[in-house]
A and B are shown apart, each in its own frame.
Chain A
């Protein structure tokens, strides 16, 4: 079974802090994604990557950046956390553009 591991289940940070959310997949998948999930808004794509060192902006990239230095790891960075970034963050990976996404269990981030 594919395993997508997000480093933290719960995270509490202060406004203005730099925050790193880590995601690792163990199946050599090419595509990786970061979404945020908010009630009533579904999943919104922040960034995705189709290869090492490659990244593409999603629908809501403002306030975020990403890093993919190795194929298995995709990091989401909040340069200066704000309260409106309090959310559930979901990482996903996929072996190809027509294959299903495999999700991690999410990181619930609270910014105070």
Chain B
């Protein structure tokens, strides 16, 4: 069975500082990893994905993520945080052999303070 863990419920950073939101995964085959963001009272929006290729993946709104196979991690990063980045972030893994079933982490609330 596949699973995703987001070890931090909450991350606080100051505006302009770099941010990292952590994610680790467990899969039996190749990992297919995704990051989503959720703003209040809205559905989730796709940020970026790793399927294969370069370990550093670039996505929307200046976010990027680093895939590390040996550490089974897929941390979300941004070099300079904005107050508007404050939201709930979810890491997810998809299983292409099971009709693309997606399993999500519990989410990390990011708060960027001015």
Name which residue of chain A comes closest to B45, CB basis: A103
Residues of B participating in the A interface, judged by any CB pair closer than 8 Å: 9, 32, 34, 36, 41-46, 49, 51, 90, 92, 94-96, 98-107
CA distance A33 to B34 in the complex (A): 16
Q: Which residues from A are CB-within-8-Å of B9?
A: 40
Residues of chain A at interface, number, CB under 8 A: 28
Check A101/B106 contact, CB under 8 A, given A42-B90, A43-B90, A90-B44: no
Contact of A65 with B by CB under 8 A: no
B49, B101, B107: which contacts A45 (Cβ < 8 A)? B101
Q: Which positions 41-92 of chain A face chain B at CB distance < 8 Å?
A: 41-43, 45, 48, 50, 56, 58-59, 90, 92
Q: Which residues from A are CB-within-8-Å of B98?
A: 56
**Minimum C-beta distance from A79 to chain B (A):** 23
B106 and A41: CB pair below 8 A?
Answer: yes
